[in-house]
Amino acid sequence: MSSLSLHARIADIASGDWDACAGDDNPFVSHAFLSALEDSGSASARTGWLPQHAVLRDDTGAIVGAAPLYAKSHSYGEYVFDHGWADAFERAGGRYYPKLQCAVPFSPVPGPRLLARTPVHRDALVSALVRAGEDLDVSSVHVTFCSGDEQDALGAQGFLKRVGMQFHWSNDGYGTFDDFLATLASRKRKVIRKERARAAEGLCIRPLRGAEITARHWDVFHRFYLATVDKRWGQAYLTRRFWPLLGERLGDRVVLMWAEEPDGTPVAGALNLLGRDALYGRNWGAAREVPFLHFELCYYQAIAFAIAHGIPRVEAGAQGQHKVSRGYLPVPTHSAHWIAHEGLREAVGAFLARERPAVLRQIEAIAEEASPYREVAAQD
């Protein structure tokens, strides 16, 4: 028999036990990343992300599964939107919050969420999450940006399956950035070259990695982050302490694309984390507007880094169909949702049954009609 326990701090779980379940592919589910969020005060009751990490033990007491789990008092910072579900339920007299969210806070990065040693342990973890939702009397349990296999396992135990869309770049064994450009339609190549040249005018642009990123860089990057949040009328979840903790705990897995003036004055930065098979773009910010600098740091520099280091894939974050013309093609993302109330579950299920084929059709249409690559793009 397996047993589930919930933990209010990831520090209460040994990093070796957690990472043995999480693996080393995706840095966002590592003990180091999640503990940096908590120890910095970023993922906390203050921000509405109260840790309730799930740990599954077998009958010997050994940890065989885990899941990053949070009690949520709102639906912000998730990137899989259920505001409409909450509003409808509460208008009908229900109580949608608190809910349980199995996710990586503030990070729309696909990856494992059911961190289990075997498929049998994974299925036991799913069952345990449902029991936790029932025991805590929450409205719902949401597992967002999980893998397709995990979504199927969740669906087999009554979770509703949802499909979203992101834009990823694939490395086809390119030797140089120009090799990548050669696969694009000529007008797309010209646009990218012009954008890169314009962005680099009067600036020094380079990637910084690991120990190359100093306290000065993190001080400036936090200001960039706050400026971006203010511009978008968002909430600054990530604290000043988060960035150096991230650099300290993840080391060379942290890659910061950096732009500054020749005298060293910082202009902009884009934060990436390096996994085993992908470079994950995360936060961006700038001191001032520079034409095309966002594209250069977030998309082109990431591609160049991936080519130089033989990284198979770049995932540049949520949304953004403008990424397509820059070589990033649409891919499906997956989430799963357990809803306790029968009426709400039926209504959400009906909505998802309509939404899912529409999203898949959109992915197919974008890939076929808007791809910049020569084999499917219309030639000039």
Confidence at residue 342, expressed as pLDDT on a 0 to 100 scale: 97
- One digit per residue, pLDDT tens: the chain, 380 residues? 789 999 999 999 999 999 999 999 999 999 999 999 999 999 999 999 999 999 999 999 999 999 999 999 999 999 999 999 999 999 999 999 999 999 999 999 999 999 999 999 999 999 999 999 999 999 999 999 999 999 999 999 999 999 999 999 999 999 999 999 999 999 999 999 999 999 999 999 999 999 999 999 999 999 999 999 887 667 889 999 999 999 999 999 999 999 999 999 999 999 999 999 999 999 999 999 999 999 999 999 999 999 999 999 999 887 788 999 999 999 999 999 999 999 999 999 999 999 999 999 999 999 999 999 987 444 44
On the question of a common fold for 3-167+331-368 and 168-328, the answer reads yes
Contact of 246 with 107, CB cutoff 8 Å? no
Return the CATH number of the domain spanning residue range 168-328: 3.40.630.30
80-114 b/e (C-beta count within 10 Å ≥ 16 → b): bebeebbeebeeeeeebbbbbbbbbbbbbbbbbbb
- What one-letter code names the amino acid at 14? A
DSSP alpha helices (H): ranges in the chain? 15-22, 31-39, 83-91, 119-135, 148-155, 177-181, 186-200, 215-231, 242-250, 293-295, 301-309, 342-369
> What predicted TM-score, i.e. pTM, was given to this entire model?
0.95
Instruction: Map out the domains of the chain as residue ranges.
Output: 3-167+331-368, 168-328
Structure tokens at 206: 């380079």
What superfamily in CATH does domain 3-167+331-368 come from?
Gcn5-related N-acetyltransferase (GNAT) (3.40.630.30)
In this structure, the dihedral spanned by the alpha carbons of residues 204, 258, 167 and 140, taken in order and rounded to 10 degrees, is -170
* Helix, strand, coil percentages for the chain (3-state, nearest 5): 40, 25, 35
* Closest CA relative to residue 238, chosen from 8, 11, 30, 44: 44
